[in-house]
Amino acid sequence: MRNRSKLLVASLSTALLMSVAVGTASAGRISLSNARFRMVWAPVILNFGDVRCNLTLEGSFHSSTLQKRAEALIGYISRAIIAPPAQCTNGEITLAQETLPWHIRYRGYVGRLPRPAGVVMGFTNVSLRAHVNSLGATCEITTTSEKPFVGTAEADEEGGVTGFRADENSRIPLLGLCGIFGVEGSFSGGARLTLLNATTRITVRLI
């Protein structure tokens, strides 16, 4: 009788573990508390030439529920504001406003499920011009699906988004006069990420 009880307990434990594993593996969506957002860099940094400017991006996700599918189009950047040249250091950055809206694509997550430490996104169709004082040259930068501006919406253990950090290892070709140097540039810096027109944090969780 005792052996049968042990076998039953072991079977129930195994079934429970399997159900948790299946539930986690089948969770294919990420839930957001709000779809509209604002990101504020103070500053964003173009590492090639160390050009620094404050940058604000505003946009929205298509839905408060995102599919975990690589390169899925999940939202748009609809408004972009860059600091005027006098407020930048080591150069200046001009945004090509006519290329808005910029695309936001899902690229994955960091950390462990079911509570990811961050959601990785890529911004494509971004077009800008950066004058680098140290070179006396102007760089033209356009992000594509192959070479996006990549960053991570970082989250704490409760799923609250603490900010958005640019991936400085994500390389983007530099064209224009900078193209003669045959190099790629990258961005770095952390942004404050909140609900649009509020200081409310956005929360993220797996469903």
Please state the three-class secondary structure of the chain as a single string: CHHHHHHHHHHHHHHHHHHHHHHHHHCCEEEECCCEEEEEEEEEEECCCCEEEEEEEEEEECCCEEECCCCCEEEEEEEEEECCHHHCECEEEEECHHHCCEEEEEEEEEEECCEEEEEEEEEECCEEEEEECCCCEEEEEECCCCCCEEEEEEECCCCEEEEEEECCCCCEECEEHHHHHCCEECEECEEEEEECCCCCCCEEEEC
Q: Do the Cβ atoms of 150 and 118 come closer than 8 Å? A: no
Residue of higher predicted confidence among 161 and 68: 161
For residue 154, what pLDDT is reported? 97
Among 8-22, 38-52, 145-159, 182-196, the minimum mean pLDDT is found in 8-22
For residue 132, what pLDDT is reported? 95
Instruction: Give the separation between CA 186 and CA 191, rounded to whole angstroms.
Output: 16
**Mean pLDDT over residues 169-173, rounded?**
94
pLDDT tens digits along 14-68? 333 333 333 334 457 888 999 999 999 999 999 999 999 999 999 999 999 888 8
- Domain locations in the chain as residue ranges: 29-206
Residue 7 has pLDDT above 60, yes or no: no
Task: Give the pLDDT band (50/70/90) at residue 122.
Answer: very high
Number of other CB atoms surrounding residue 200 within 10 Å: 11
pTM value is 0.84
